[in-house]
Every structure is written in structure tokens, then in C-alpha cells.
Amino acid sequence: MSEEKKSLNFIEQIIEEDLSSGLNPEKLRFRFPPEPNGYLHIGHAASICLNFGLGEEYHAPVNLRFDDTNPAKEEQEYVDAIKKDIQWLGFKWDKELYSSDYFQQLYDWAILLIKKGKAYVDDQTSAEIAEQKGTPIKDGVDSPYRNRSVEENLELFEKMKKGEFDEGSHVLRAKISMKATNMLMRDPIIYRVLKKSHHRTGSDWNIYPMYDWTHGESDYIEQVSHSICTLEFKHHRELYDWFLDQVYEDKKLRPKQREFARRNLSYTVMSKRKLLQLVEEGIVNGWDDPRMPTISGLRRRGYTPKSIRDFSETAGIAKRDNVTDIALLEFHIKNELNRTAQRVMAVLDPVKLVITNYPEGKEEILIAENNPEDENAGSREVPFSRELYIEREDFREQANKKFFRLKLDKEVRLKSAYIIKANSVVKDENGEIIEIHCTYDEDSRSGSGTEASKRRVKGTIHWVSIDHAEPAEVRLYDRLFTDEAPDSHKDKDFKDFINPDSLKILDNAFVEPSLKKAKTGDQFQFQRLGYFNVDKDSTSEKLVFNRTVPLRDSWAKQNK
Ligand code: ATP
Ligand code: MG
């Protein structure tokens, strides 16, 4: 199957090797294992695209497994949001599963470990246990409870389960070695007492299994062939395999853990714990704030499933930690919207322009192309009249030769309309321009075929007819952090790098009337400005738009 492919990533190579050494392709199975303690982010998208991508490539099932062993932090809200995001990205899981469904089996296996003399109840505090752990160059110290009898261990573990012990008073530990070079092998904890209600099992359990014990055994129960996780679990692989050895039965498939580098994105943070802080401290307006690197934030911002999948594909998977430039993500959405987004005119910071030689009360319907990149996109009608709004920054009384927009005594073309020349301005008592008076060349209408219509002027500016315009609020987003890697500074908190100007609200914008019927999520190119979509906060009185991405990256220029 791989012949026509250009190159395989290292995970695909591992799978190919397994297949050529006899693994039945029908046994291939993958899983995506989120902990439901937050919303998915663009880093998770890397793992989703990798696992579900392998599923598609090898026609193999992919389980969605909620890794819900920590009742303190997990909630149904997150389960629902995670499912929604994966579906939105366009992937289908085979089975929806929960680690908590295996609590009984994991417990039974823990009993088996005790009976084999491979697990014991430790009555020490976590601080005492940590102290005995040793260091990579110093052996650990055996717990005084390490050599308890099987009977005593069974009895104590039963009491832990029944809730007879307080949190923190007892743990169950695997009996491996306190001298292992891999610190994780030094008698790791497999169960702790936690008297918390669980989002699925309620108050059934007073003990909860630890990640390492749960994860590999869950893979085994589900018969996952390749359990792909991120690099920080590399050292856990030895323990993963040790745990599997304890329960493995002949003829069953033995899951294989392999690791790849986490996706990090510049100018943001990617840990759910940190993202939760931003939400809880009100630094952003929820998990789906368009500045968040969450899938729901990106969706609200105007990112499409395809742009995120294309981004994941190009960014690829790596064996070493690295930071992906956020510009790559922006490139993919710009690329897509350039092909698909309808062009419209919107004025974000309006100033009034009066065409003094245009008849009062006259209205014309002009025809504008919907998308020059797409010949099937057609055209639309845009009303024109004597009084228009143009962008305040598109006019200067005086300016040098490099200013190709409107200035006194000079001409520009109004997009899809006429050539105008600015003659004078009206100012208020503070000296601010409130009106620009100009005249138009009646014969210069775009597309009319006249000599004047073909006349070339240096600049073209966008506009909306005041009588016809729809009021709008436009939200301009910038990077949420001013630093490329906000959580990489030892002596500083990531929140010290919050960009105070990450959201700018323009609440006096106007858009052309064709947008009146726009619905939440609809995407447009505001000509000369960027790509925008309709936010869910829109009402019938006022449209609200998010800027997905500007046409040009002014940010790079300012800050380099
Ligand atoms: P976080 O630190 O953001 O909470 P996590 O790894 O604890 O992340 P999980 O819900 O446990 O989050 O992750 C589910 C899956 O997604 C795991 O297989 C994990 O390795 C993977 N994953 C999480 N973050 C990233 C990332 N930044 N890049 C690639 N894969 C990731
Ligand atoms: Mg986690």
C-alpha cells in the first residue's frame, strides 16, 4: 500500500514493519485518549489527525477513549465538547469508551498482582514515599510495608476500596524494584484513596487507579495495536510493558506504545491547565474565545476543519520537541478562504464621503464579482449613492507619493464603481474630519466599457452606501501572548506575557447590505482588509464579525 506514497512518517514505518513481520492488518486498531478535564486544543488536533489519519489510511478502527480516572477534574461538559470537536474535524470513531468502564477489571487485576506478590499496600504518606524514592544515581529505600503478606495486603486493599481509610493514608504500589535506573519503576503507585464522586461511576469507588496502570491495561482490554502518545511518556514505556506482562494472555494482541513530539504553537500555550486558568481568571471569554488555541476557539474564529487538518498534515509529526510557527496555521486558513470566501465591502472605521456632483436621491445598482478566484462564484448587486462611508485611514489631506489612497486634489477608484477626486473637507470643532467632499467622473463606472472606465488610477478603495449600509460590530484579534513561547521562562509566569491588545472591538462599522442575511459562521473576505466570519453574538439589529485573519500579516512587520 505504501508504494505510491512519497514518504512514510516514523509511526507509519513502525506499522509497516509490524505488518511485514506478521501482524494481521485486521488487528490494527488505534485510539485517541483524551482526559475530559478541558477542551481540546490544536495540539490535540495533531494527535487526532495522526490517530484517525492512520485509521483512514489502514482502514482500521479508532476508539475514542475518555481517560477518566481523576474524578476531581473531570466533567460531562468536557466529554460533550470533545466529541463535538472530533466530529467537527470530520473524524468518526469506532467505539466511544471510558477508562472508568474498566474500573472493575482493573481492580480484579490489582488483586491478581497482590496474589502474585507483585503489589502491596503502603501506609506511608506521599511525602515519606517520595523521600524513599532516591535519585537516578542513588538507590531508593524499601518501604517498611513492602514485604507484607498477601493476606494482609488483600485485607487492606479491600478496606481502601470500602472507604475505611482516609485520602492520602494508604496507596497500593507495584512491587518492582527500588533500585531500578528508571525512576518510574521504583514501586509506582497504582491506586490511591479518593473519596470523590465520579462523573460516570458516582460514589461506587473510593479508590481510583493511576494513569500508568490504567492506560496500558485499557489499551490491552480494547486490543489497541498501536498506542501512540507524546514524548513525555517515553520513560513510561518500560512500566507500560511491565504492567502488560502481568496480565498478558497467550494469543491476545499485545499493544505497543510509541511516542511522538507534542505539537507546540508559537505565541500561545497548549496545556489545558493553563488554558483553564485563562478561562477562570476571565482573561479570555470562555473556552471558545476566538483568541484561544482550542478547537472551539479556532472554529469560532473562522478556522475550518480542512485548514486544521491541512495544517496538521504539513506540520507533520516529529521525534523531537519543537515549536510550530503560528503563521503556518494562518497560511492554511488564508489559502482556503482565498478560494472559497465571498468578497464583500465593509468599512470598519467610517468617515463620510459626499459626491457633490452626484444627483441627490439617485441610487444605482452596481455589479460586483463575488470571488475572482472562483469563476462559478457569480456576482452580486451593490447599491451606490451620493453619500458613502470610506475607511478613515484611506484619506489624508496631504500625503507623499507613496500614499495611493485618497488625498486632496487626487483621484482614486471606488471599488466596482467610479473614479472620484477629493476636493475639500469639513471638520468639527476639534479639527477632526467629519466629511470629505469629492466629485466623480460620471463616465468611469467599472465594467461600463467606456474609455474613462479603463482609465488607470493608482489606488482603489472600498466603500459602502450610507443609506443602504448595515451596522456591525467587528472584533479584531491579535496574538494572545507577546512572547513566542510564553511558558518557557523559568522566572516568569506565562500570564506575564498576555498581550493587552489582543482584542480590539470596532462597534461603529458598516457592511454592504448583501450581508443582512448572513448567518452565524458565514465567512467573507472584507475586501482589502481580511477574512471575517459572523459571530454567534450577532443579532437582527447588529451583525457581529470576527476577524479570522488579516489579508497581510501586519504583525510580522511591526515586530520584527
Ligand atoms: P494537556 O497538557 O494539554 O492537558 P494532555 O496530554 O494532558 O494535554 P490529554 O487529554 O491527556 O491531554 O491528551 C489526549 C491525547 O492527546 C494524548 O494522547 C496526548 O498525548 C495528546 N496530546 C495532548 N496534547 C498534545 C500536543 N500538544 N501535541 C500532540 N498531542 C497531544
Ligand atoms: Mg493529561
DSSP-based three-state secondary structure for 393: helix
Give yes or no for a contact between 184 and 212, defined as CB atoms under 8 angstroms apart: yes
318/272 Cα distance (integer angstroms): 21
Query: Which residues of 462-542 form beta strands (DSSP E)?
Result: 463-465, 470-477, 503-511, 523-526, 530-534
What's the gap in Å between 480 CA and the centre of ligand 2?
23
pLDDT of residue 73: 80
Give yes or no for a contact between 220 and 247, defined as CB atoms under 8 angstroms apart: yes
Question: Does 262 participate in catalysis according to the annotation?
Answer: yes
| Cα separation of the two ends of the chain | 45
Instruction: Kindly report, residue by residue over 305-326, the tens digit of the pLDDT.
Output: 999 999 999 999 999 999 999 9
Q: What CATH code is assigned to 10-260?
A: 3.40.50.620
Q: Tell me where in the chain the CATH 3.40.50.620 domain(s) lie.
A: 10-260
pLDDT of residue 75: 87
Ion ligand 2: residues, CB < 5 A: 35
Mean pLDDT of 202-211: 96
Give yes or no for a contact between 92 and 83, defined as CB atoms under 8 angstroms apart: no
At residue 171, φ and ψ (nearest 5 deg) are -135, 160
| Number of the ligand 1 atom closest to the C-alpha atom of 35 | 10
At residue 65, φ and ψ (nearest 5 deg) are -115, 115
Is the CB of 318 within 6 Å of ligand 1? no
Q: Is the pLDDT of residue 41 over 50?
A: yes
Instruction: Kindly report, residue by residue over 78-95, the tens digit of the pLDDT.
Output: 999 999 999 999 999 999
Q: In terms of Cα–Cα distance, which of 495, 453, 502 is closest to 478?
A: 502
Q: Is the pLDDT of residue 557 over 80?
A: no
At residue 124, φ and ψ (nearest 5 deg) are -80, 160
Residues shown for the chain:
560
The cell for 117 is: 506478590
17/3 Cα distance (integer angstroms): 14
Where is 190: in which H helix or E strand?
A: strand 189-193
What's the gap in Å between 43 CA and the centre of ligand 1?
7
Residue type, 531: Y
Is the CB of 272 within 6 Å of ligand 1? yes
Q: Is 153 exposed, middle or buried (0-12, 13-18, 19+ CB in 10 A)?
A: buried
Region of residue 447 (left: phi > 0; alpha: psi -120 to 50; beta: else): left
Where is 10: in which H helix or E strand?
A: helix 10-20
Q: In terms of Cα–Cα distance, which of 171, 164, 115, 168 is closest to 143?
A: 171
pLDDT of residue 552: 82
Residue type, 193: V
Q: Is the pLDDT of residue 22 over 80?
A: yes
Mean pLDDT of 244-250: 96
The full DSSP string for 382-437 is: EEE-SEEEEEGGGEESS--TT--SEEBT-EEEETTS-EEEEEEEEE-TTS-EEEEE
Give yes or no for a contact between 356 and 435, defined as CB atoms under 8 angstroms apart: no
Where is 396: in which H helix or E strand?
A: strand 395-396
Is the CB of 262 within 6 Å of ligand 1? yes
| Number of the ligand 1 atom closest to the C-alpha atom of 46 | 29
Is the CB of 271 within 6 Å of ligand 1? yes
DSSP letter at 316 equals -
Q: In terms of Cα–Cα distance, which of 542, 453, 454 is closest to 506?
A: 542
- Alpha helices of 383-456 — where are they, by DSSP H? 451-454
pLDDT of residue 422: 97
Q: Is the pLDDT of residue 1 over 50?
A: no
Q: What integer best gives the mean pLDDT of the chain?
A: 95
Mean pLDDT of 245-274: 96
Q: Tell me where in the chain the CATH 2.40.240.10 domain(s) lie.
A: 272-342+472-558, 346-462
312/349 Cα distance (integer angstroms): 36
Beta bridge partners, 192, equal 171, 208
Q: In terms of Cα–Cα distance, which of 66, 143, 132 is closest to 98?
A: 66
DSSP letter at 359 equals P
Mean pLDDT of 460-484: 97
CA 412 to chain centre: 41
Is the CB of 482 within 6 Å of ligand 1? no
Residue type, 170: H
At residue 317, φ and ψ (nearest 5 deg) are -120, 145
Choose which residue among 47, 89, 228 to substitute to test ligand 1 binding: the one with the highest number of ligand atoms within 8 A of its C-beta.
Answer: 47
What's the gap in Å between 497 CA and the centre of ligand 2?
24
Q: What CATH code is assigned to 272-342+472-558?
A: 2.40.240.10
Angle between helices 103-115 and 150-162 (to 10 degrees): 160
The cell for 211 is: 494513569
pLDDT of residue 97: 98
pLDDT of residue 67: 96
pLDDT of residue 277: 97
- Three-point CA angle 91, 92, 96, nearest 5°: 130
Q: Is 171 exposed, middle or buried (0-12, 13-18, 19+ CB in 10 A)?
A: buried
Instruction: Calculate Rg over the CA atoms of the chain.
Output: 31
pLDDT of residue 259: 98
Give yes or no for a contact between 533 and 344, defined as CB atoms under 8 angstroms apart: no
Catalytic residue among 272, 291, 445, 547: 272
What superfamily would CATH give domain 346-462?
Ribosomal Protein L25; Chain P (2.40.240.10)
Mean pLDDT of 170-197: 97
Question: Does 272 participate in catalysis according to the annotation?
Answer: yes
DSSP letter at 501 equals T
Q: Is the pLDDT of residue 559 over 50?
A: no
- The dihedral formed by the CA atoms of 16, 17, 22 and 26, expressed in degrees to the nearest 10: -30
pLDDT of residue 5: 55
Give yes or no for a contact between 462 and 351, defined as CB atoms under 8 angstroms apart: no
* Residue in the structure block whose three cell numbers are 467610517: 350
The cell for 217 is: 491495561
Catalytic residue among 148, 173, 262, 291: 262
At residue 29, φ and ψ (nearest 5 deg) are -155, 140
190/188 Cα distance (integer angstroms): 6
pTM attached to this predicted model: 0.94
DSSP letter at 187 equals S
Residue type, 235: H
Local confidence band at 555 (pLDDT 50, 70, 90 cut-offs): very low
Is the CB of 530 within 6 Å of ligand 1? no
Give yes or no for a contact between 392 and 404, defined as CB atoms under 8 angstroms apart: no
Beta bridge partners, 473, equal 544
pLDDT of residue 6: 64
Q: Is 437 exposed, middle or buried (0-12, 13-18, 19+ CB in 10 A)?
A: middle
Sign of the dihedral defined by the CA atoms of residues 171, 173, 179, 183, in that order: negative
Q: Is the pLDDT of residue 3 over 60?
A: no
Local confidence band at 123 (pLDDT 50, 70, 90 cut-offs): very high
Local confidence band at 4 (pLDDT 50, 70, 90 cut-offs): low
pLDDT of residue 285: 96
Beta bridge partners, 478, equal none
Which residue's alpha carbon is nearest to atom 9 within ligand 1? Answer: 34
